[in-house]
Amino acid sequence: MVFVLEADFDLVDPEEGESIAVNGVCLTAKAIAGRRFAVDVSPESLARTTLGRLAHGKTVNLERALRLSDRLGGHLVSGHVDGVASVLDVRPEGDFVRYTFGIPANLAKYIIEKGSIAVNGISLTVNSCDAQVFAVAIIPHTLKITTMGSLKKGASVNIEVDLIGKYVEKLLAVKHEPGQVAESRLNPAFLAAHGYIR
């Protein structure tokens, strides 16, 4: 599919082929004209994200790619969505709103309390989590400038877990034969013996 999007901010020095995240999905901009640009969306992206459910006129979160010289005001977000979660609860708490999401079982192990997660491309801090859900508290500024404020119970969102956890998991796995992954040698006993945990 090809989507044509219009930003509500000026695309300063846009370049054909640059990456722009759309609801957290890294896509390549083309046909840039003023604040409008087009993106090709692959079958893989349509299958693994919520982009295939977008309707004409729908508002999305947009973010241009980070330059290596820029400040990092959140966590590293690659735009490579890991899965889709659903909104289980939306609860106002003063000026904030607490969102609770149901998560796919295969992603739960990468989500930790006070860790980072991207929801529709928005870098957020996890307030609480277990094997089935996680919750985040959204500040008024984020509610105002993103689509979070319009999310209702039952809505689907794109989730990108913290990529550091995925790299650590892979690096700690010890491979014996092609296609086989054994248990890591790094376990609680090893870490305790070397002074990393008590």
pLDDT at 16: 92
pLDDT tier, 75 (very low <50, low <70, confident <90, very high otherwise): confident
Provide DSSP, 85-126. EEEEEEEEETTEEEEEEE--HHHHTT--TT-EEEETTEEEE-
- Confirm if 84 and 157 have CB atoms less than 8 A apart: yes
Predicted confidence band at 67 (pLDDT cuts at 50, 70, 90)? confident
Going by C-alpha positions, the residue among 86, 124, 122 that lies closest to residue 103 is 86
Q: What was the pLDDT predicted at 125?
A: 95
Average model confidence (pLDDT) across the chain? 90
Q: Indicate whether 161 pLDDT > 80.
A: yes
Give the pLDDT band of residue 180 (cuts 50, 70, 90).
low
| Contact status, residue 76 vs residue 65, Cβ threshold 8 Å | no
The domain locations on the chain are 2-64, 87-162, 163-198
Closest CA to 119 of 170, 164, 74, 166: 74
Does pLDDT of 140 surpass 70?
Answer: yes
**Alpha carbon of residue 170 to chain centroid:** 20
CA distance 76 to 117: 10
Q: Does 155 score more than 70 pLDDT?
A: yes
Q: Is the pLDDT of residue 66 over 70?
A: yes
Do residues 95 and 125 touch, judged by C-beta distance below 8 A? no
Proportion of the chain above pLDDT 70, given as a percent: 94
Burial (CB < 10 A; 0-12, 13-18, 19+), residue 114, is exposed
| pLDDT of the residue at 111 | 95
In this prediction, residue 68 carries a pLDDT of: 77
Start-to-end CA span in the chain (Å): 53
Instruction: For domain 2-64, give the CATH number.
Output: 2.40.30.20
Tokens of 114: 């006070």
Is residue 57's pLDDT more than 90? yes
Other Cβ atoms closer than 10 A to 28: 14
pTM for the full model? 0.83
Asked if residue 154 has pLDDT above 80, the reply is yes
CATH topology classification for 87-162: Elongation Factor Tu (Ef-tu); domain 3 (2.40.30)
